[in-house]
Amino acid sequence: MAASSARVDLDGNTINPFTICMIGAGGFIGSHLCEKLLTETPHTVLAVDVYNDKIKHLLEGPDSLPWAGRIQFHRLNIKNDSRLEGLIKCSDLTVNLAAICTPADYNTRPLDTIYSNFIDALPVVKYCSENNKRLIHFSTCEVYGKTIGSYLPQDSPLRQDPAYYILKEDTSPCIFGPIEKQRWSYACAKQLIERLIYAEGAENGLEFTIVRPFNWIGPRMDFIPGIDGPSEGVPRVLACFSNNLLRREPLKLVDGGESQRTFVYIKDAIEAVLLMIENPARANGHIFNVGNPNNEVTVRQLAEMMTKVYSKVSGEDSIETPTVDVSSKEFYGEGYDDSDKRIPDMTIINKQLGWDPKTSLWDLLESTLTYQHRTYAEAVKQSVAKAVAS
Ligand code: NAD
Ligand code: UDP
């Protein structure tokens, strides 16, 4: 679609093109947000990251591209780069996506996790506040931690009552496990940066929006170990299961795969972020859950559905034993713990921005696994053949 110059917001006001400093633009969500902004809006992106592989297709190409001149890549580490303040200053809005956000890191690299999600975000908040710039900061649904219902007796009828498990921005508590369960280092760091941003808003007038993504998935998420990431790396579940399917190995169900998640298609979720960007009057001062409450499954059900979908898109029969149980200690190491259930309440985002997710889990897996098969099947085949030969 061509970039349109006469865009209007939800209240009918003309949206003037603006400049967005996007930190973490080279990651999964950043790559989709860049694509959306460049192909469907007149806005300009200052893309900040240490990597740019996932946005290379937007950075390279002829000057005749409709977005030529509207994206600049700045390779910098926000931990220690004095150019950051200048980029924030010359933008109208900052979107901060930078983080360590892979569960395998939370208990094994807790210091890096806490520094990345709290300490490294501090200058971003400070520069936005001091320079009166709007901030959209990416937090996580994990700030809710475990549900209240998970602490009730197994046979309690209250476990079926939504009041005990639906996660609501303005009323649900944040329930984390003990300190020795270092899994919660991420959630706790994200919670503290949320509180700091909220306080900057209350005391110093910072215009902010906080996003709590609920398992956004789709093409370009994470990496396939040994292909475009380290062989020993453990990405998030979509990439772990994709890797198993591509290699014709059983999918590993951590602690029986009983945990429940709701998955939302990245393209639906990006629509919500664009609404926040273009409707500051409706988005400022709010915390938004962004997920799809209709796409709830246990991890075991996800594995079963992905196995079926992959068979369909690859034309290969599934293997005889499609799943295997592993303990969390074996899979993630000491200090892992899990969120039991994550269903977002959608009242606030629906009321403020009129957003609703559209894509079913089957459909989003079909388009995502088609991408995974097309992108990786040949490379995996070659790497397996090479390993067998050596
Ligand atoms: P991602 O890992 O794909 O992207 C993060 C990007 O930030 C990476 O490209 C990384 O190189 C960059 N980055 C990290 N530290 C940096 C630094 N110091 N300087 C410069 N760049 C740095 O992750 P994602 O899935 O795109 O997630 C983006 C944000 O959304 C994160 O804050 C994450 O916590 C949050 N989130 C995502 C999900 C999801 O479902 N994908 C769920 C919950 C929260
Ligand atoms: N998981 C699993 N097998 C894998 C990878 C993950 O069973 O190969 C489980 C993990 O224990 C968690 C869920 O899948 O219960 C989702 O994990 P993910 O890494 O995507 O992140 P989370 O939703 O926990 O933030």
Residues with CB under 6 A from ligand 2: 103, 142, 215, 236-237, 240, 252-254, 257, 259, 261, 299, 338
CA–CA separation, 237 and 331 (whole Å): 12
CA–CA separation, 167 and 146 (whole Å): 10
pLDDT of residue 5: 54
177-210 confidence digits (pLDDT tens): 999 999 999 999 999 999 999 999 999 999 999 9
337-349 confidence digits (pLDDT tens): 999 999 999 999 9
Are 19 and 44 within 8 A, CB to CB? yes
Tokens at 71, concatenated: 């994206």
Q: Of 109, 106, 122, whose CA–CA distance to 186 is shortest?
A: 106
Residues with CB under 6 A from ligand 1: 24, 26-30, 49-51, 77-79, 97-99, 101, 116, 120, 138, 140, 213, 215-216
Parallel, antiparallel, or unpaired: how do β-strands 296-298 and 216-217 relate?
Answer: unpaired
pLDDT of residue 1: 47
- Rounded to the nearest whole angstrom, what is the distance from the C-alpha of residue 261 to the centroid of ligand 2? 9
Instruction: Report, in angstroms and rounded to the nearest whole number, the Rg of the chain calculated over CA atoms.
Output: 21
Are 139 and 212 within 8 A, CB to CB? yes
Tokens at 45, concatenated: 């992106």
**Residues whose CB falls within 8 Å of the CB of residue 194, separated by 6 or more in sequence, listed in order:** 137, 139, 143, 210, 287
Domains delineated in the chain: 99-383 (3.40.50.720)
pLDDT of residue 388: 87
Q: Which of 29, 273, 292 to mutate to test the pocket of ligand 1 (most atoms within 8 A of CB)?
A: 29
pLDDT of residue 6: 81
Ligand 2 atom at shortest distance from the alpha carbon of 299: 14
Phi/psi of residue 289, nearest 5 degrees: -70, 135
CA–CA separation, 106 and 67 (whole Å): 37
- Rounded to the nearest whole angstrom, what is the distance from the C-alpha of residue 23 to the centroid of ligand 1? 9
- Rounded to the nearest whole angstrom, what is the distance from the C-alpha of residue 101 to the centroid of ligand 1? 6
Q: Which residue has the least CA distance to atom 13 on ligand 1? A: 98
Q: Which of 53, 84, 101 to mutate to test the pocket of ligand 1 (most atoms within 8 A of CB)?
A: 101
Residues of the chain with pLDDT under 50: 1-2, 4
Q: Of 361, 174, 328, 152, whose CA–CA distance to 261 is shortest?
A: 361
Catalytic member of 186, 265, 310, 336:
186
As for the ipTM of the complex, it is: 0.99
Phi/psi of residue 72, nearest 5 degrees: -125, 135
Question: Which helix (H) or strand (E) element contains residue 114?
Answer: helix 110-117
- Rounded to the nearest whole angstrom, what is the distance from the C-alpha of residue 162 to the centroid of ligand 1? 30
Q: Which residue has the least CA distance to atom 8 on ligand 1? A: 27
- Rounded to the nearest whole angstrom, what is the distance from the C-alpha of residue 156 to the centroid of ligand 1? 38
* Residue 336 known to be catalytic: no
pLDDT of residue 302: 98
Q: Which of 49, 83, 368 to mutate to test the pocket of ligand 1 (most atoms within 8 A of CB)?
A: 49
Q: Which residue has the least CA distance to atom 6 on ligand 2? A: 237
Q: Which residue has the least CA distance to atom 1 on ligand 1? A: 27
Tokens at 97, concatenated: 């996506």
Ligand 1 atom at shortest distance from the alpha carbon of 96: 32
